[in-house]
Amino acid sequence: MSDDHDHVHDENCEHEELDALTEAILVAQSGLRSDVQALVDVIDEVHVYIPLAEDMPGVVEGEDVQFGEELTFRPHMLLDSDHRAYAVAYTDPELVEPLVEALGWQTSGGPLKFIHLPLRIAFELAQEHVDGRDVEGLAFNPSTDFELVLRRDEAAAIAGGQALPLVGYVEDLPEGADEETQVVEGAEPPPAELLAALEQARVRIRDLVSVGVATTFNPERDREPHLTITLYTAKPDIDRAALAEDVMEKASPFLPAPGYADIVFRDAPN
């Protein structure tokens, strides 16, 4: 990674660009494509604080430092439950306190320090090979209300100027966004085994009147077309979560790529 002019800050340093990045992260937490665009828009405008595992020789804390073409530093990383490494970046160094208490982070055995870098460098770090392992993504402000975790492919897309839905965050579409869901014409028909499993569920579940299946795509939420299964029910107050779980338990082995489906409920016509 390269940079011409960066500096190390202590934990109490403030920066005028902090609010813009924090706001972009909060917006992107919806996971919607148009909201993720907020990160694309600020990637070359703001800086982040990256916690250092090792001190940087020759760097005086709080002073600007000139670097050559290569900027080398050893950051702290986070491991997920599968021991995959994630780069870490903060919009405010005070937000690191939960992890300092939980993990005892230090810099070369002393108080934790940060390097203050352009946001784009943090996205590049999420594509690197560090300490013998590939970095799998980028975690902003972990263990705080301002957390946003990007997978490696998501970070790469944003760094390349492409906003895409964050499928781990998208839950409910805002009002009116369902209208953008498109039925994909000419898509492959659903597998016969899937249709048979859904028909068995319809026969077995008394309040399930009928089932519809279509290939759909919503640009705000989806990265690729997938099946939407519509369940038409006789009772408006039916336990929808239990019904969806029941149906998907039998249907999921037969779902075609990408291997998941949306469940939509409709009241059956009288």
pLDDT by residue for the chain (270 residues), tens only, comes to: 333 333 344 444 444 444 799 999 999 999 999 999 999 999 999 999 999 999 877 655 544 444 454 557 888 999 888 888 999 999 999 999 988 989 999 999 999 999 888 999 999 988 887 666 789 999 999 999 999 999 999 999 999 999 999 988 987 665 555 667 889 999 999 999 999 999 999 999 999 999 999 999 988 888 899 999 999 999 888 999 999 999 999 999 999 999 989 898 998 876
Does one domain contain both 149 and 213?
no
Domain count, the chain: 2
Q: Are the beta carbons of 215 and 188 closer than 8 angstroms?
A: yes
Which among 28, 15, 21 has a CA at the least distance from the CA of 42? Answer: 21
Evaluate the CA torsion angle 125, 118, 139, 160 in order and state its sign: negative
Does one domain contain both 145 and 186?
no
Does one domain contain both 146 and 39?
yes
Identify whether 173 is part of a domain. Answer: no
What's the CA gap between 165 and 127, in Å, rounded? 19
Does one domain contain both 24 and 153?
yes
Identify whether 228 is part of a domain. Answer: yes
State the number of CA atoms in the 13 A half-sphere of 237 facing the CB: 0
Last residue of a domain, one of 96, 129, 159: 159
Does one domain contain both 225 and 109?
no
Identify whether 203 is part of a domain. Answer: yes
Identify whether 174 is part of a domain. Answer: no
State the pTM of this model. Answer: 0.74
Does one domain contain both 147 and 17?
yes
Identify whether 164 is part of a domain. Answer: no
Identify whether 250 is part of a domain. Answer: yes
Does one domain contain both 44 and 120?
yes
Does one domain contain both 28 and 134?
yes
Q: What angle do CA 148, 35, 179 make, to 5 degrees?
A: 130
Euclidean distance between the first and the last CA atom of the chain, given in angstroms as a whole number: 64
Does one domain contain both 233 and 110?
no
Torsion angle of the four alpha carbons 59, 137, 25, 147, in this order, in degrees rounded to the nearest 10: -90
Identify whether 175 is part of a domain. Answer: no
What's the CA gap between 73 and 238, in Å, rounded? 56
Last residue of a domain, one of 105, 129, 159: 159
Does one domain contain both 21 and 154?
yes
CATH number at 233 reads 3.30.300
Q: Which residues pair with 78 in a beta bridge?
A: 86
Does one domain contain both 149 and 242?
no
Identify whether 170 is part of a domain. Answer: no
Does one domain contain both 141 and 86?
yes
Give the range of the structural domain holding residue 23, as residue numbers without chain letter: 5-159
- Residue found by looking up tokens 């999921």 in the block: 252
